[in-house]
Chains A and B, each alone.
Chain A
């Protein structure tokens, strides 16, 4: 009975809470915000105590990423890219490098640039490009995220690229189990000299995005498909999102009930405009629904 009384005190305006639901008082809102911050700190600590608990379980197929990329190119009237095994091995090595050295960037902390991986696998590029993605649950959402970003879209729809390599791997990145996708684009000098013309002058090599590296002896390569994780993982994003939805949903409901009862009872009180608060929380709710897991670089 006492619990019900307390619940009413928290959620319904009446004399005991100065005609304003206790949960809507500024002190309560600050307590809720503090709890949410503490929860995020706890979530980060969890990754240090039990690194295998947090993560984004996903199953990304290399072929699907290639197909979706080529679909976008075809829709834009461009030729499809062919999957190059050397590029794929280079992309996989870059993905493993990020996991092993625990970084999320185009350039490694030791200064290693992505183009080094091209050279390591004997890919003599004329043009080269790199797209990175992490924490996506499927290939489609990763490719769509790249397409929504002007710079990544430019890479996908660049007519200079002829070949593609995809590397996908899972591992611990900054305390969370993560699936990393590395998308390498390239065109070799051979692509340019396919149609030699008699009397044509030789073009000077054009190097976009990177300088040419000396070609190493090609290494035998194998593209490793990621293993699907069987363990159940707690996704930090999904957990945060669900808790945020609950908090905002509850506050919106209480604000509406509060507004109806205060208006019905004709109570005059010193308070902000309920409509403004509801509109603000409605916007926060929309943002929560818009935000999707996954990061691109």
Chain B
């Protein structure tokens, strides 16, 4: 459970970052990269602690993060 709290905290910080710095495109791009990296890192750490880490799981987190990045950046660059 504490793992999920840290994850939610990271995501809330990301949403606030996007909202507060809505005028700063470069900052938003940086936040998008940071959130995707934090999400993949969280997944690896969480599954390592639970001793069920494997390549398929790492790839799953990376693909979800890539999809999220593509969606976010395609919008940020269209602003």
Interface stretch of the complex, out of A154-162, A223-231, A269-277? A269-277
User: Closest B-chain residue to A28, C-beta based?
Assistant: B63
A275 to B5, CA, bound (A): 12
Stretch in A79-87, A113-121, A289-297 touching the partner: A289-297
Name the contact of B7 in the complex, choosing from A279, A284, A287, A290 (C-beta under 8 A). A279
Point out the residues of chain B lying under 8 angstroms from A233, CB to CB.
none
Given contacts A26-B56, A284-B71, contact A276 B22 (CB under 8 A): no
The docked-state distance in angstroms from the alpha carbon of A147 to that of B1 is 40
Complex CA distance for A59 and B42, rounded to whole angstroms:
46
B64 lies within 8 A of chain A by Cβ: yes
Complex Cα–Cα for A282 and B39 (A) = 13
Tell yes or no: A126 within 8 A of B by CB: no
- Total interface residues on B, using CB and 8 Å? 40
A270 and B57 contact, CB distance less than 8 A: yes
Q: Which of A9-17, A30-38, A69-77, A184-192 contacts B (4 or more CB under 8 A)?
A: A30-38
CB neighbours (8 Å) of B47 from chain A are 272
**Interface on chain A toward B: helix, strand, loop, or mixed SS?**
helix
Query: B66 in the interface, Cβ–Cβ < 8 Å?
Result: yes
- B11 to nearest A CB, angstroms? 4
**Do B63 and A29 touch (CB < 8 A)?**
yes
Q: Determine whether the beta carbon of A280 is less than 8 Å from that of B75.
A: no
Shortest CB-to-CB span from B49 to chain A, Å, is 12
Q: For B8, list chain A residues within 8 Å (CB).
A: 279
Interface residues of A in 243-297 (CB under 8 A from B): 244, 247-248, 251, 270-273, 275-277, 279-284, 286-288, 290-296
Q: Are A149 and B23 in contact (CB under 8 A)?
A: yes
- Point out the residues of chain B lying under 8 angstroms from A248, CB to CB: 71
A247→B71 contact, CB < 8 A: yes
Interface residue range, chain A: 35 or more
B 9-64 contacts with A by CB, 8 A: 11, 14-15, 18-19, 22-25, 35, 39, 42-43, 46-47, 52, 54, 56-57, 59-64
Whose C-beta in chain A lies nearest to the C-beta of B24? A149
Residue of B with least CB distance to A149: B23
A112 at the interface (CB under 8 A from B): no
Q: Does A241 contact B (CB under 8 A)?
A: yes
Complex contacts, B43 vs chain A, CB 8 Å: 272-273, 276
Q: Given that A37-B70, A152-B23 are contacting pairs, would A280 and B79 also be in contact in the complex, using a CB cutoff of 8 Å? A: no
> Which residues of A are found within 8 Å of B68, using beta-carbon distances?
280-281, 283-284
- Determine the chain A residues whose CB is within 8 A of the CB of B35 once the complex forms: 283
Cα A272 to Cα B71 in complex, Å, equals 21
Chain B neighbourhood of A201, CB < 8 A = none
Whether, in the assembled complex, A51 has its beta carbon less than 8 Å from a beta carbon of chain B, the answer is no
Interface residues of A (CB under 8 A from B): 26, 29-30, 32-33, 36-37, 40, 135, 145, 148-149, 152, 236-237, 240-241, 244, 247-248, 251, 270-273, 275-277, 279-284, 286-288, 290-296
Cβ contacts A to B, 27 pairs, < 8 Å: A26-B56, A30-B66, A32-B67, A36-B70, A36-B74, A37-B74, A145-B22, A152-B23, A237-B79, A240-B74, A244-B74, A247-B67, A247-B71, A270-B52, A270-B57, A271-B56, A272-B43, A275-B4, A276-B4, A276-B7, A276-B42, A279-B8, A280-B11, A280-B64, A286-B18, A290-B22, A296-B23
